[in-house]
Amino acid sequence: MSHTTNTAWQALQTLAATTSNIGELFADGSRSEQFSAAACGIYMDYSKQALDNERLSALIALAKSKNLSHKINELLSGVKVNDTENRAALHTALRLPKGEPLLVDGVDVGGQVHDSLDKCEAIVSRIRAGVWRGYSGKAITDVVNIGVGGSDLGPLMAATALEEWADTDIRVHFVSNMDGTQLDGLLKKLNPQTTLFIISSKSFGTIDTLSNAKTAKAWLLSTGAKEQSLLRRHFIGISTRTDKMSAWGIHPDNQLLLWDWVGGRFSMWSAIGLAIAIRIGMTGFRALLAGAYAMDTHFATADFEHNLPVLLGLIGVWNSTFLGINAHTVLPYDGRLSFFPNYLTQLEMESNGKSVARDGVAVDYDTCPILWGDIGSNAQHAFYQLLHQGTQRVSCDFITPIRRYDNQQHHHDAYLEEQHKLSLANCLAQSQVLAFGNGALGETTQDELNEFKRYRGNQPSTTLLLDSLSPSTLGALIALYEHKVYVMSVLWGINPFDQWGVEVGKVMANSVFDALNDGKAEGFDGSTNALLAKILQAQALQGGV
């Protein structure tokens, strides 16, 4: 049955056409209590969404009509929910507690996961203890994670967010750009004798990653050290392909395995998170996993009315599909979460940026909105002007920890506590003005009639308050958004675990690359041919690339 002929879907279309202004909904004094939920150290206030009890009930009815409970169980139990690639999507298995089995096709996936984690722990311990030595016998001081997409965005985001939990002098760095600029600037600052590279690539065939790895190898070889020693002491590989890692030169002892059922953007919980564990230790990394597992359990057991991922997903579908709000911004009011919006751009848009349903039929409704974001204080001086006075409706997620500084650890930093209060004040104030416009200011002066100073309000937002930002709450927060993505995909009837749209550009790039090497500006469309001719002409006249 088509989504748009679903009775619950049609009911929501009717309700969307008569939705009240957000300000009008607050006539109910108990609204904030009714439209909030909490779990795993996260409190979610969604009272500033354009929802009332009738519309929320209709969304829940839609979820039930799409068998969401059954779909959640399929995800968590290892059913092949990635049907276009005939795979499970078992990232949740990566955070199962030790000793909790999960049998998939007769194989204990949980046991495999913990075998991999144990190998990670052994490697992490050697590096952090100074036992792992470079080719000259000196201990490792710097670790460079070479990856792209999920092999970079997740570890970079989490390592940055949890920097205060770092308990080692070993520095971790992240390289992803294929043009070499990032790596070149970094190598100029590092000592080849004490630098270890992690090559993270699920397929071990991603050109972005392998081009950087090749440059890193050449940099080490320029020292004159023996290649075999360099490869053994300075490279770790993480991939599903042991054959390709071995062919590249990664020693078997330095190979960490992934599984086909781990999507790249869901992989930071696996060995892909090695750089995080090196920086904060395996105890901290396991706390990150435990926080995510707590959210998995909540997702699997809580009723829809109090289920954070389900509610966040329902809200996302309501805004994008039924209210036609096709832009969404994530606004953390905490500098440690600076890379969290970047991480979510991949998680949400690569997962749900689809226009074909699971049955192969093109959809006739809006799916994933365009997502972006920044640290709230920076965003206030950048794009909040559009949020407050532009012509586009934009939904927003505000994220902030309630407690930022521990009084015992920062008793001498009272001014930092004041700064956190200022950040909290801005977070709450911005969501208030976005929802209520000039009414939030209580303005009755002539300025309210000045169109240049008018704030229209009615911009929906959700506020997520973390008890504090820790490995555990960060794990729960990331898992919350992972499951939000899945909920939205179920309601839209799309597969969130493939990414065929990523592949076509890579294939085309190979042909263009060959044309650049052959010096031929032909065989493509008129624009591409002309651009190739311009590039080749300039290179011929000026030399170099």
Residues with catalytic function = 350, 381, 506
Closest CA to 256 of 115, 49, 48: 115
**C-alpha angle with apex 56: 53 to 61, nearest 5 degrees?**
120
CA distance 51 to 319: 10
Provide CB contacts within 8 A for 440, sequence distance 6+. Answer: 432, 433, 455, 457
**CB 493, CB 358: distance < 8 Å:** yes
CA distance 25 to 10: 23
| Strand ranges for 201-344 from DSSP E | 235-239, 255-257, 327-332
Closest CA to 62 of 13, 10, 8: 8
**CB 475, CB 289: distance < 8 Å:** yes
CA distance 349 to 327: 11
CA distance 234 to 219: 11
Tokens of 289: 């996993």
CA distance 254 to 354: 37
What distances in angstroms separate CA 461 from CA 351, 399, 544, one per listed residue? 22, 11, 50
461 backbone dihedrals φ, ψ, rounded to 5°? -150, 155
Tokens of 195: 């630098």
| 86 phi-psi bin (left φ>0, alpha ψ -120 to 50, beta other) | left
Q: What is the length of the chain?
A: 545
Provide CB contacts within 8 A for 183, sequence distance 6+. Answer: 146, 175, 177, 212, 215, 216
CA distance 162 to 178: 26
Tokens of 493: 């009837």
